Amino acid sequence: MQEVLSGSTVGVTAERKAEEIGDMLARRGARVLFGAAMHTVPLPEDGELAAATREVLSAPVDFVVAITGVGFRGWVEAAGDELVQHLAGARVVARGAKAKGAVRGAGLREEWTSPSEESAEVRDHLLERGVAGKRVVLQVHGDPMLEFRRALTDAGAEVVPVAVYRWTDPVDLAPLDQLIDAVIAGEVDALPFTSAPAATNFLARADRTDRGEALRTALREVLIACVGPVTAAPIAKAGLPHVLPDRARTAALVKLVEQELSAR
What are 202-235's pLDDT values in tens digits? 999 999 999 999 999 999 999 999 988 778 889 9
pTM of the model: 0.71
pLDDT per position as a tens digit, 136-186? 999 987 677 889 999 999 999 999 999 888 788 898 999 999 999 999 999
- If pLDDT is split at 50, 70 and 90, which confidence band does 113 have? very high
pLDDT of residue 231: 84
Find, among 157, 249, 240, the residue nearest to 199 by Cα: 240
Q: Evaluate if residue 45 carries a pLDDT over 80.
A: no
- If pLDDT is split at 50, 70 and 90, which confidence band does 79 have? confident
Q: Count CB-CB contacts under 10 A for residue 254.
A: 25
pLDDT of residue 230: 73
What share of the chain in percent tops pLDDT 70?
A: 97
pLDDT per position as a tens digit, 254-264? 999 999 999 88
- If pLDDT is split at 50, 70 and 90, which confidence band does 40 have? confident
pLDDT of residue 116: 83
pLDDT of residue 44: 61
pLDDT of residue 19: 93
Mean pLDDT estimate for the chain: 92
Secondary structure E strands in 90-171: 91-94, 110-113, 135-140, 158-163, 165-168
Do 16 and 43 touch, CB atoms closer than 8 A? no
pLDDT of residue 89: 93
What share of the chain in percent tops pLDDT 90?
A: 71
Phi, psi (deg, nearest 5) at residue 44: -60, 145
Encode burial over 41-80: b for 16+ CB neighbours within 10 A, e otherwise: eebeeeeebeebbeebeeeebbbbbbbbbbbbbbbbebbe
Residues counted in the chain = 264
pLDDT of residue 2: 66
